[in-house]
Amino acid sequence: MKELKEAILTRGKAINQDVLLVDSFLNHQVDPVLMCHVGEAFADFFRDKAIDRIVTIESSGIAPATFTAYALGLPLVILKKQTSRIMKGDLIQTAVRSFTKGTEYQLTVKREFLPGNERVLFIDDFLASGEAAFGAIRLVEEAGAKVAGIGIVIEKSFQSGRERLEALGIPVCSLARVRAMGPDGIEFVD
């Protein structure tokens, strides 16, 4: 996606070979027009894939996932990293480790919001080693549903996430694929 790659090059910053800072348009300050176009790009890719529901993880995936859900006319479910005392009922949980942030969290969803037998599209801001996506897959499968597609805003193609997900037979649509990055710049796949 040309507009996204241009935003990464002009408004993003490679902190080092692993960390790409895009908090000026994606995950702290948000460019809503770009996010709308990101959502429409995911919708175009997955429109004929018989998707029933969009799922994302709070909070950086919410803006692109909301526009995707709107464009496809489907409900969105936000998987939670934190529970609260008003979150009760039949919960499904799985532990997820974020290597970039150095944290671990209990990814949580109410079972009632993941009906069995549905085909789910998982949307997230980044794909690196795939830990978050695999956490989402575990929750969706525990609910008796199936992850039928994965939409990623920025893929770190030098990490193993895409390879591991494609090995499961899940189509992955990444709108920007970073081959390498560092002080000399950011290089995309293709």
Q: How far is the CB of 14 from a copy of itself (least distance, A)?
A: 12
Q: How far is the CB of 119 from a copy of itself (least distance, A)?
A: 16
Q: How far is the CB of 74 from a copy of itself (least distance, A)?
A: 8
Distance CA 139, CA 159 (A): 23
Site of interaction with a copy of itself (CB under 8 A): 15, 19, 21, 23-24, 27-33, 35-36, 58-59, 62-63, 66-67, 69-70, 73-78, 80, 84-87, 98, 100-103, 109-110, 113
Taking the chain, what is the end-to-end CA distance rounded to the nearest angstrom?
A: 11
Q: How far is the CB of 171 from a copy of itself (least distance, A)?
A: 22
Q: How far is the CB of 36 from a copy of itself (least distance, A)?
A: 6
Taking the least distance from each CB to a copy of itself, the nearer of 102 and 183 is: 102
189 close to 157: Cβ distance less than 8 angstroms = yes
Taking the least distance from each CB to a copy of itself, the nearer of 27 and 174 is: 27
For the chain, what is the radius of gyration of the CA atoms?
16
The SS3 of residue 128 is coil
Taking the least distance from each CB to a copy of itself, the nearer of 117 and 169 is: 117
Distance CA 173, CA 17 (A): 23
Q: Which of 135, 126, 71 is nearest to 107 (CA)?
A: 135
Taking the least distance from each CB to a copy of itself, the nearer of 84 and 117 is: 84
Distance CA 12, CA 75 (A): 31
Rounded to 5 degrees, φ, ψ at 30 are: -120, 130
Taking the least distance from each CB to a copy of itself, the nearer of 87 and 168 is: 87
